């Protein structure tokens, strides 16, 4: 009772103009790689359980490196209203479209900005996930360890400013122990035609903070992940000819309760609303508005060292998604765009995808 599937994907991404002799080891290219994926699924007819493994053999032509990337490897077991999953797995919460309030689990922003397929955006975590399906409420509990942070772009591959260039940088990850395990819980049910869910998480900020040493200017800086608790609510329903979604949550920064520590993020309130609907045959459109508000902003401003730039108290984003399928759905044209009024910044992602056959897609 074993099935195997696989694919080969070759990808390249380059800047739109020659960067010249800028000292960047990778030059004009962000990505040039080949990946062979092997998916293995095995199951038993005696018990309601199965094993799944997803692994890539990856060749990075830019770094001249060959590696094995274990995407997922877990055991599933079900018994009536109970199921559990143990091993490396991808966990996704929330109702946002590439915007995240409830989804605190790690993401690979290098893959996102380099242009890998979206399958590579979410990162697996080593976890035990248990779910109970009841008439009154569905319960999901996750325990994950060791802590897996987001993968962030760096100056080796992207045009990313490094405020600590030339300064010794240390990385201090949370200790791999029982006291630093991540805990997550989700309660969900449908009522009055609306899908409701409540989430709670206790772990760490997925992006690191910087702690300079005591000297001025600093001779070294330590990157660390402050403690974090998250509490969110989501709702999604059919309305106004489409689907309406909403999320709201509190990001409680446990290492900076009063907002007076400039090395740790302040507590935040985050929220989003979204709407998606069909336009005509094989076409759809969606839009979202996302906002995050920093708590204790006066304390944050007062704690900033002289000369340090201040973050905004309120940050917001607007997104638009347009998608059209054509040629018997073999051709997919899509556009996803972000715009931040607070940051005066934007990102546009147009995509054209054509399925030449059952075996080949470009």
Give tens-digit pLDDT for 47-56. 889 999 999 9
In which residue are the tokens 């091993």 written? 87
Going residue by residue through the chain, which has 362 residues, state the pLDDT in tens, using 9 for 90 and above. 999 999 999 999 988 877 766 555 567 888 999 999 999 999 988 888 999 999 999 999 988 999 999 999 999 999 889 999 999 999 999 999 999 999 999 999 999 998 898 999 999 999 999 999 998 999 999 999 999 999 998 877 787 777 777 788 899 999 988 889 999 999 999 999 999 999 999 999 999 998 888 777 778 899 999 999 999 999 999 999 999 999 999 999 999 888 888 889 999 999 999 999 999 999 999 999 999 999 999 999 888 877 777 889 999 999 999 999 999 999 999 999 999 999 999 999 999 999 999 999 99
- By CB atoms closer than 10 A (0-12, 13-18, 19+), residue 55 is middle
Q: How far is CA 115 from CA 14, 128, 262, in A?
A: 10, 31, 34
Q: What is the DSSP letter of 19?
A: -
pLDDT of residue 20: 67
For residue 252, the surrounding DSSP H or E stretch is strand 242-253
Task: Measure the CA–CA gap between 234 and 187, rounded to whole angstroms.
Answer: 10
Q: Distance between CA atoms of 226 and 229, rounded to whole angstroms?
A: 10
Kindly report the pTM of this predicted structure: 0.92
């Amino acid at each position: 009772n074993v099935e195997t599937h696989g694919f080969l994907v070759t990808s390249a991404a380059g800047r739109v103009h020659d960067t010249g002799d800028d000292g960047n080891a990778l030059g004009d290219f962000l990505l040039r790689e080949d990946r062979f994926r092997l998916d293995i699924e095995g199951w038993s007819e005696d018990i309601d359980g199965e094993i799944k493994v997803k692994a890539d053999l990856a060749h990075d032509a830019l770094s001249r490196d060959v590696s094995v990337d274990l995407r997922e490897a877990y055991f599933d077991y079900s018994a009536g209203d109970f199921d559990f999953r143990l091993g490396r797995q991808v966990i996704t919460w929330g109702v946002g479209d590439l915007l995240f309030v409830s989804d605190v689990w790690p993401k690979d922003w290098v893959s996102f900005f380099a242009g890998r397929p979206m399958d590579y955006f979410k990162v697996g975590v080593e976890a035990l996930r248990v779910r109970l399906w009841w008439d009154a409420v569905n319960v999901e509990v996750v325990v994950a360890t060791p802590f897996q942070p987001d993968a962030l772009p760096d100056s080796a591959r992207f045009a990313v400013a490094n405020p600590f260039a030339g300064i010794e940088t240390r990385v201090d990850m949370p200790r791999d122990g029982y006291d630093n395990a991540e805990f997550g819980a989700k309660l969900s049910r449908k009522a009055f035609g609306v899908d409701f869910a409540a989430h709670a998480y206790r772990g760490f900020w997925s992006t690191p903070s910087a702690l300079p040493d005591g000297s001025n200017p600093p001779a070294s800086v330590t990157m660390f992940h402050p403690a974090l608790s998250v509490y969110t609510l989501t709702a999604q329903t059919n309305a106004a000819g489409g689907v309406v979604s909403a999320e709201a949550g509190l990001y409680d920064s446990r290492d900076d309760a009063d907002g007076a520590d400039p090395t740790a993020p302040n507590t935040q309130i985050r929220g989003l609303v979204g709407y998606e609907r069909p336009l005509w045959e094989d076409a759809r459109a969606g839009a979202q508005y996302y906002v995050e508000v920093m708590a204790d902003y006066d304390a944050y401003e007062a704690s900033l060292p002289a000369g340090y730039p201040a973050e905004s108290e309120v940050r917001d984003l607007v997104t638009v998604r347009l998608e059209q399928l054509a040629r018997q759905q073999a051709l997919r044209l899509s556009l996803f765009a972000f715009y931040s009024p607070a940051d005066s910044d934007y990102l546009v992602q147009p995509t054209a995808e054509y399925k030449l056959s059952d075996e080949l897609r470009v």
